[in-house]
Structures are given as structure tokens and as C-alpha cells.
């Protein structure tokens, strides 16, 4: 059967052209609570951010939950990724959330100490991190700059910069670069360049050895 060419979506809507800028590009169904969004960011459909800092140029593909998290610049986060899912109080007689969301059930005021305990297990994602579809980053985890998290991975331990991890629980697969290259990139810290500098040096980003030779 020959392939059929569709110049527009089947429902009649043209493929949207996205232009990012100082104002974040926010899709439908997004819920934000006490969160910060940087410039040139995109927040995909039906995502939830609670007390989260989402820095410049990073994007969420959609259906993401980020709670008590700091995300660096230029991060690529696929759909259905969840960062810092809520822990339940396993040490209590019941781990049901009625013990801390008490007002929902008429049991008095909510347990503020419990929510502070969750806040204290903040997640930190470095710059230029790629997190694959459906991955889960558990509370309190730090992921280093340049790391890659495989699809459906469950990250229970900190991840070094420029390390590729995958699996359940996630384990190191291999580094993206050798130690010297990773160290040089961390020292250059290109993610701190302003927009005009990035534009002027854009082609250099495509050649790692040349980039390090020029800016290292």
C-alpha cells in the first residue's frame, strides 16, 4: 500500500509553528503552583509543577509532574516523566494520605511537618540533562549536568555529570564523554552564555573537539 501524504493534521488543524521567547510557551491543561519558569521554556500539555524552578531553554514534552524540584537550563524532558513523587509515611499505623491531608476527611488541620519533610527531599537536575519517556526521579535525587536518563528508568541514587543511566533501579551504562572532555565542558559552562552569544557561536556547539579547543 502506498504511503499517503497529509499536508495538514487529519482534524484539519495545521501543524503549529512554535516560536519561543522571553515569555514561557505554556500548553493547555498546565497547572503551576509557586513555580518559576525561565525564558525560552516550553511546558507541555497537562503538566503539573509545584514549588519548582524550571530554568531557561528547558522543556517538558507533556503529562509531566515536577514537585519540589530545581531544573537547570537546556534540559530535555520527555512525556510522562515524574520528578519527586510523594512519599507516604510508612512508619505510621496507616500510610494513607488521610494522616497528612487531614482536612480532606474532617480530621483537623493538615500535617505541615509532613509536607516540610517532603520539601526537604528536594530534587536537583543539572543543565543539559535529557530524561527519557516515563522515567521517575525519586525524592532527594541530584542529577549532574549533561546526564542522560533512559526511558522508564527509576532513579534512586544520584547521577554523575555526563553519565548515561537506565533500568529499574537505574544504574550507570556508560559516560557520554571521557573524563577530560566532561571536565572541559563543565569548566566552559556554555549554558551560562546569553542568547546573543549562543547565536553567534551556535555552529561551534555541533563539534565537541573543536568547541573545547576554541573555548576551553
Peptide bond into 169 cis (omega under 30): yes
Active-site residue (options: 5, 11, 91, 122)? 91
Q: Identify any residues that bridge with 165 across adjacent strands, giving them in sequence order.
A: 149, 172
Length of the chain: 216
The 8-class DSSP code of residue 212 comes to H
Residues contacting 106, CB < 8 A, separation 6+: none
Q: Rounded to the nearest 5°, which phi and psi values hold at 102?
A: -65, -35
What distance in Å separates the CA atoms of residue 140 and residue 171, rounded to the nearest whole number?
17
Active site residue 11: no
- Backbone phi and psi for residue 188, each to the nearest 5 degrees, phi listed first: -65, -40
- Residues serving a catalytic function are 91
Amino acid at each position: 500500500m502506498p504511503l499517503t501524504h497529509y499536508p495538514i493534521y487529519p482534524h484539519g488543524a495545521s501543524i503549529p509553528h512554535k516560536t519561543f521567547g522571553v515569555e514561557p510557551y505554556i500548553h493547555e491543561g498546565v497547572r503551576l503552583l509557586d513555580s518559576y519558569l525561565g525564558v525560552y521554556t516550553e511546558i507541555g500539555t497537562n503538566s503539573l509543577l509545584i514549588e519548582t524552578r524550571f530554568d531557561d531553554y528547558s522543556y517538558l514534552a507533556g503529562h509531566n509532574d515536577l514537585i519540589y524540584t530545581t531544573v537547570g537550563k537546556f534540559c530535555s524532558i520527555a512525556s510522562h516523566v515524574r520528578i519527586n513523587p510523594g512519599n507516604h509515611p510508612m512508619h505510621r499505623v496507616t500510610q494513607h494520605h488521610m494522616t497528612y491531608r487531614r482536612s480532606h476527611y474532617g480530621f483537623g488541620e493538615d500535617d505541615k511537618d509532613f509536607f516540610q519533610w517532603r520539601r526537604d527531599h528536594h530534587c536537583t537536575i543539572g543543565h543539559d540533562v535529557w530524561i527519557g519517556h516515563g522515567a521517575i526521579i525519586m525524592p532527594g535525587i541530584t542529577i549532574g549536568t549533561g546526564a542522560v536518563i533512559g526511558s522508564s528508568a527509576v532513579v534512586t541514587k544520584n547521577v554523575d555529570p555526563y553519565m548515561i543511566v537506565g533500568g529499574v533501579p537505574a544504574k550507570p551504562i556508560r559516560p557520554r564523554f571521557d573524563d577530560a572532555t566532561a571536565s572541559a565542558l563543565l569548566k566552559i559552562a556554555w549554558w551560562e552564555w546569553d542568547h546573543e552569544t549562543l547565536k553567534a557561536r551556535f555552529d561551534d556547539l555541533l563539534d565537541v573537539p573543536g568547541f573545547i579547543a576554541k573555548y576551553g
